[in-house]
Amino acid sequence: MRIRIENSKKSTSLLCGFVLENSTTVLGLGKFDAKTSSIINQSVKDMGGKLGKLSVIPFSGKNSIQRILLAGLGEKRNMTKDTIRAVSGKIAQKARELKLKEFSIIAPPSFVEDAISSVSQIVEGSKMGLYKFDNFKSEKLENSLDLTIIVSKSNKISMAIKNAEIIANGVIFTKSIANLPPNECTPTTLANFAKIISRNNKLKCKVISEPELKKRGFGGISAVGQGSKNKPKLIILEYNNGSKNEKPIVLVGKAVTFDTGGISLKPGEKMDEMKFDKCGGCTVLGIMKVVSELKLPINVVGIVPSVENMPGSESYRPGDIIKLHSGKTAEILNTDAEGRLILADALSYGEKSYSPKAIIDFATLTGACIVALGTNVAGMVSNDEKLTKMIYDSSNRTTEEIWGLPLNQDYMDMIKSEVADMKNVGIGKAAGTITAAAFLRNAIQNTPWIHLDIAGVAWTQTGTKEKSYNPKGATGFGVRLILDYLQNL
Ligand code: BES
Ligand code: ZN
Ligand code: ZN
């Protein structure tokens, strides 16, 4: 999709304008002759500006505008920082349905939403709305659709559009690798994706494999990975564009390319969805790609421990005691609680190797998070109030929703083991998301840290709120959230 900006409407196959609920005007549309105006006014009245409602008015004759599309924003007071994004996704899908080659969207005036936010949402919504995972379909959707945004031109607007395009491409990249089936995406495949991003974007990429993983003390990654012929990888991407002695931000993402549960085998129902257990890692790869394409003046490191969790004669077992990279030992009581083991290794490696300013991890870590918060809000656990506040601010600006859960000594005590330093499960089903976070907390010292449990939000599942720009499959949750944080450091 090529994106252009124009100060005013010219010829187009589809001119799209937003309409607020119960308003009689199309925002920013400008003047037409009397007959055309009366048709438009009647259509505005008929569709009523209801949120998400679209209404196409065909134009006849020699008009340079072939159709007008009215797009409802709902009531002004109910608008969020996501409304224009979501409606723009619908508009783009409509344009594709009409088999057009291009369409135009009039950015709403600033009393509805500030121009930078408007154009960013229009770009993100349109681009993300057109993405569909069709790698394995013989019949592909048409994908060459250009967009003109009608808004008063300025450098700031052009930059915002460029920025939003790169971010949307990053989210699409994350979705497109997260959606890959487990037979087509192993830890090695993810490592290869990381290498490709690094080559294109001036990142340094290191991949640690067996036997080096074991030799260097990555006992968690080695244990979980040993049951699969698809061997584990620890993927590291370094981006250095800040000042030399500035400490980096470290991002860690769980990438279990398939989670069967291992010897503690999961039930069969919906087990296919465990191909999405790599979403945290895919989010980190997407963020690193965007950070480098935006050339942000900071230092960031992405660390992605990747394994396949399989049952077999080589698998780790309940009862095993392993030694993590932190030096602490863990008693395995359930091989399905594998995410915390590979993350613990990656977190302590990240802290020891980079002395980071902050560590943020992303993981489809616990089913308990879905029980606690559902499928539209990610769980958050942190040891640092300032960092928490910054991530909440980013969440408000991007509408990627998160909610904090507590972590005090009582929870830390719940993972004490009789025979090792820790056990990899808590007490029964109690506070499952927090006891998993408590395990991670043990991997680091006092670096400001945020853990995001994205089990409920990383892909569309039962209860997921419909959003035009999140069609069925992976959502790329976290990419927009953390880019906002990194851009506001
Ligand atoms: N990948 C799963 C968590 C998960 C389950 C995410 C369902 C999304 C949907 C994780 O590895 C897991 O299986 N966790 C266990 C932990 C338990 C054994 C302590 C869980 O949540 O049941
Ligand atoms: Zn598991
Ligand atoms: Zn898992």
Q: What is the pTM of this model?
A: 0.98
> Quick one: which H or E segment has residue 159?
helix 155-178
Atom of ligand 1 minimally distant from the CA of 432: 19
Neighbours of ion ligand 2 (CB under 5 A): 259, 336, 338
Confidence of residue 400 (pLDDT cuts 50, 70, 90): very high
Closest ligand by atom to 273 CA: 1
Cα distance between residue 258 and residue 82, in whole Å: 32
| Residue 364 near ligand 1, beta carbon < 6 Å | yes
Closest ligand by atom to 334 CA: 1
Average pLDDT over residues 165-184: 98
Q: Which of 336, 377, 422, 457 most suits a substitution to test ligand 1, by most atoms within 8 Å of the C-beta?
A: 336
Average pLDDT, the chain: 97
Distance of CA 405 from the midpoint of ligand 2 (Å): 21
The phi, psi pair for 109, rounded to 5°, reads: -65, 165
SS3 percent helix, strand, coil of the chain, rounded to 5, is 35, 20, 45
- 469 three-state secondary structure: coil
Instruction: Return the residue matching tokens 């700031």.
Output: 156
Cα distance between residue 148 and residue 59, in whole Å: 19
CA angle at 132 for the pair 130 and 136, rounded to the nearest 5°: 150
User: What's residue 114's pLDDT?
Assistant: 96
| Residue 338 near ligand 1, beta carbon < 6 Å | yes
Length of the chain: 489
From the list 352, 192, 345, 169, the residue with the least C-alpha distance to 257 is: 192
Average pLDDT over residues 376-404: 98
* Burial classification of residue 353, based on how many CB atoms lie within 10 Å of its CB (0-12 exposed, 13-18 middle, 19 or more buried): middle
Confidence of residue 61 (pLDDT cuts 50, 70, 90): low
Average pLDDT over residues 225-250: 97
From the list 323, 87, 300, the residue with the least C-alpha distance to 197 is: 300
How many Å from the N-terminal Cα to the C-terminal Cα in the chain? 30
Catalytic residues: 266, 340
Cα distance between residue 325 and residue 208, in whole Å: 14
| Residue 217 near ligand 1, beta carbon < 6 Å | no
Distance of CA 336 from the midpoint of ligand 3 (Å): 7
| Residue 367 near ligand 1, beta carbon < 6 Å | yes
User: What's residue 143's pLDDT?
Assistant: 73
Q: Which tens digits make up the pLDDT trace of 299-356?
A: 999 999 999 999 999 999 999 999 999 999 999 999 999 999 999 999 999 999 999 9
| Residue 342 near ligand 1, beta carbon < 6 Å | no
**DSSP 8-class letter at 474:** B
Is the pLDDT at 62 greater than 70? The verdict is no
Provide the 10 A C-beta neighbour count for residue 461. Answer: 17
Cα distance between residue 348 and residue 81, in whole Å: 36
Beta strands at 67-74 and 54-58: parallel, antiparallel or unpaired: antiparallel
Distance of CA 341 from the midpoint of ligand 2 (Å): 10
Q: How far from 192 is each of 174, 186, 233, CA to CA, in Å? A: 14, 10, 11
| Residue 277 near ligand 1, beta carbon < 6 Å | yes
What does the DSSP assignment read for 297-347? SSEEEEEEEEEEE--STTS--TT-EEE-TTS-EEE-S-TT--HHHHHHHHH
Cα distance between residue 473 and residue 455, in whole Å: 13
User: What's residue 468's pLDDT?
Assistant: 98
From the list 360, 304, 307, 361, the residue with the least C-alpha distance to 335 is: 307
| Residue 368 near ligand 1, beta carbon < 6 Å | yes
Beta strands at 422-423 and 329-331: parallel, antiparallel or unpaired: parallel
Tokens at 387, concatenated: 């960092």
From the list 383, 379, 391, 444, the residue with the least C-alpha distance to 409 is: 383
- Minimal-distance CA residue to ligand 1 atom 22: 367
Q: Which tens digits make up the pLDDT trace of 81-120?
A: 999 999 999 999 999 999 999 999 999 999 999 999 999 9
